[in-house]
Structure 1
């Protein structure tokens, strides 16, 4: 498929125009005009680029790309080496951030919820494109039991703040660095909040507002959206797609 058409296809699937983001969504670095062999991954790190080069990929499709708002606009140092490797090997870089978090079928939030037996009901924010979601556990669990489930499913022990004695019924979630939404979840009387990261103040919010909190890792909670997107491209469009997971403890 021609690169331009592939970009259009991704935009049709993910609809980036519907949400304001912190980076450009879509094609970020132009490479080969013909998209045939795709590598998907969470972040366009040097390790992922090297892995894509090693298997002869012409396209890299990630959740975390480049050119974030607020970062230096110059292409030097680490960014220079990454971009140089992409250009030297004629590899396209496509990145989708928030559109891949909120997609109702292959998004990070929905994919994580399915893995953890959470039934999504609606967005946590009062908007049609809420980044955080809320719902219920299919089977209510104690905070300790849910932490064990997270650990088993994600192969990563979560950081927790378990402050309630009752079982968790209602739960809100936002993959990645969504710890700031805990206060909104608490305001709505939700039992627990799950995200990827924690800040110092997050634990105080949990303790003082009586809401159980789980931080299961930014990378660990965001592996599944881009993987699902790649699987969709294989099943519906016949692409050669390889998901490569570059481990990250954060």
Structure 2
């Protein structure tokens, strides 16, 4: 299958590292003009260079905090149109349910959920008018398998799946597709940072430490390891392609078989 995204403009939020950067690289490799986003100018600059090196069209950087209404509005003002929107921006933080204050619930909702709502609301009307477009929400298997160690994160991921489905139905009969993607444990910088103390203590390679983590916390995993960010990105690039035109309103798993339902 040859995926050709030349002439397409893609916005990937939270794309200076991890899954987001891998998605940006994948879209660029397929020929898309990618707008990379992060909060720190130095991180955005590095990501732009990395993404530009993978594809025929140089990437564009946008520095801004999309976890606020003002930040989303500023992005839309700077880049008023796109063909592909990947709502990847998200945070996670292990915390006991009884220790999660109202402020954390609000912060997770604003960043993980409302950033995608605001940007989809801004970009989808033009996609509908053009009868063409792709919107993807990067959710998680935690949307269905709520992690007791971070319920607020699971709640935000469930919300993304619901929004993606509802938006897809709102765009029924058009050439615009909306889907959510459900990664399982993935070896991104965030997971590496969380596992660093265990790695230093054990002396094992980070991949082995991540596999141990998966089997302890997600024992239903079939691949029995953490996924690579590129494995998640490959699915997202496909969903953003013309070849995925009949896939919409779906919650697509890249969870390594963690979810045991059929």
| TM-score, reference length from structure 1 | 0.30
Where is the strand percentage greater, Structure 1 or Structure 2?
1
CA radius of gyration, larger in? 1
